Chains A and B, each alone.
Chain A
Amino acid sequence: MIPDWMNEKDTYVPPKKGGAYLYKTMRSMGLIMSRITIQTGSEGKINIPAKWKIIVLLLSIIAISVTNNKTVLLFFAAATLLIIALKPPEVINRIVKNAFASGIIASIFLLPAFVTNPVGRMNNLLVLIKVMLSISLVSIFNHSTQWNHITRGLRCLHVPTVFVFILDITLKYIYVLGNFINEMLTAHVMRAVGKNKDKYGSIGGIMGVTFIRGNELNKAMYEAMVCRGFTDDYKGL
């Protein structure tokens, strides 16, 4: 029943080159996934309802953006630093990284103005600080609130059902699909034992299948929810 060549061992000497591209893709994908996993948000012992967190977050960001008063900004900066300081080290690391990344991007945008217009320099600095503060607040929120609580909070604040539903499904599926891509890459590497002449084709194939899977999962999930009594009135999963 088995073909003849299966009775023998292949003598195979793998080429030295090739394959690095796949490994790199896999590694960066893994990194992204681990970040998403961590952002499920560990809520501390003191549990403020997500509803209030959202309100405070929004008000703070509005206050930070409209104020020109340095004392107010200083107050927010102090409060933000205080909250950050109370977080565990790896969370601090991530929040600070996010803040600096946004700071760098903002500086690039502000650089021309900063160079050409000496009078507005103070204002440019203020904008930079505002950006970094807002981003830090959002990451703090992100790291201290579970996703399902965020969606429930939005629901309490009368954000339209459809919006919350889409947000929730998207958040869940980023993880599911990311995992799927990661597994596909792993399975691919298991068989990619030579020099891949068409490496972009492989990645393209994986992305294509992922897209189709995403669509199907979405549909299947909706159908499964309907079967369990879902009537478009969304109460948060």
Chain B
Amino acid sequence: MAFIELKDITFAYDEGENVLSGFNLLIEEGECVFVRGDNGSGKSTLFRILTGISYPASGIYKFDGEEINKKYLKDNRNSKLFHKRVGYLFQNPDIMLFSNTVFDDVAFGPRQIGLGDKEVLARTEDILKTFDIEELRDKAPYHLSGGQKKKVALAAVFALNPEVILLDEPLAGLDKKGRGWLVEFLKEVKSSGKTLIIATHSDEIEAELDGRVCEL
């Protein structure tokens, strides 16, 4: 049985036509999958289903043996554990940042999983250093540049140390240096055994990371 299993998924936004129909996807733990497709082909929609924000009209989604549906996620503990294990970088980083400072936004995840103050501080600083955004630490997220916001949002996702990481256009908005760096970072994340699912229009990430392409 695969780690992530989508079987015969059909999805439509209300009153619209099907965005996904009869869609199948199997992903093993530790795999790296690139989701490709034209604008509007349903990449972000697929991610919404994989993270349990939207539910398919028909078909089955299984994550680590559990069927993920409305009923399962209605249980508070299930949904928390699920969201802890599956991290999601939204295509628009603006919607992810709500705290007064970058530090608080990145520390939000570690605080949530009940780490002690010291550990929260250590983790957050690790991540800020890794992403090379230490100097943004006390800034207000909504006043950052587009690329800086993207980095903070990425840092916020990784601070929770999820097992599966869904990245919707992670390279968009980053400069050349930032892109090169992120690709290297993702390589290491992959070799640490985490599962990566990445929607992208860029070839540079595919050339570097060893992964499989899923065309929508």
Contact = CB atoms under 8 A, between A and B. Distances in A.
Interface string B99-134: 110000000110111100000000100110010000
Contacts of B77: 14-16
Interface stretch (B2-10, B31-39, B83-91, B202-210): B83-91
Nearest to B48: A186
Interface in A1-47: 1-3, 5-7, 9-10, 12-20
Contact of B81 (A6, A14, A189, A197): A14
Contacts of A20: 76
A194 B188 contact: no
Contacts of B92: 183
Nearest to B92: A183
Contact of A1 (B100, B123, B188): B188
Nearest to A16: B77
A2 B130 contact: yes
Interface residues of A, number: 39
B20 interface: no
A95 B88 CA distance: 40
A120 interface: no
| Interface band, chain B | 35 or more
Contact of A6 (B94, B95, B112, B158): B158
A209 B114 contact: no
B99 A193 contact: no
A184 interface: yes
A183 B108 contact: no
Contact of A14 (B80, B123, B163, B188): B80
Contact of B142 (A3, A191, A196, A213): A213
Interface string A212-233: 1100000000000000000000
A44 B92 CA distance: 36
The interface centre, meaning the residue of A14, A186, A189 with most chain B CB atoms within 10 A of its CB, is A14
A65 interface: no
Contact of A10 (B84, B90, B96, B111): B84
B139 to A, nearest CB: 14
B197 to A, nearest CB: 15
A191 B192 contact: no
Contacts of A13: 81
A1 B84 contact: no
A194 B113 contact: yes
B98 A202 contact: yes
B81 A193 contact: yes
B27 interface: no
Contacts of B161: 5-6, 9-10
Nearest to A9: B163
A141 to B, nearest CB: 22
Nearest to B100: A205
A208 B90 CA distance: 20
Contacts of B114: 15, 194-195
A202 B83 CA distance: 17
Interface string B159-195: 0110100000000000000000000110011001110
B101 to A, nearest CB: 10
A119 interface: no
Contacts of B200: none
A232 to B, nearest CB: 29
A196 B112 contact: yes
Nearest to B96: A187
8 contacts: A15-B77, A184-B98, A191-B156, A194-B111, A194-B112, A205-B99, A213-B94, A213-B142
Given A6-B158, A12-B113, A205-B100, 20 more contacts: A1-B130, A1-B185, A6-B161, A7-B192, A7-B193, A12-B81, A14-B77, A16-B77, A18-B76, A180-B94, A188-B98, A190-B88, A191-B160, A192-B83, A193-B81, A193-B84, A193-B113, A194-B80, A194-B112, A212-B142
Considering the complex of A and B, which 3 residue pairs feature the smallest CB-CB distances, nearest first? A194-B112, A14-B80, A3-B126
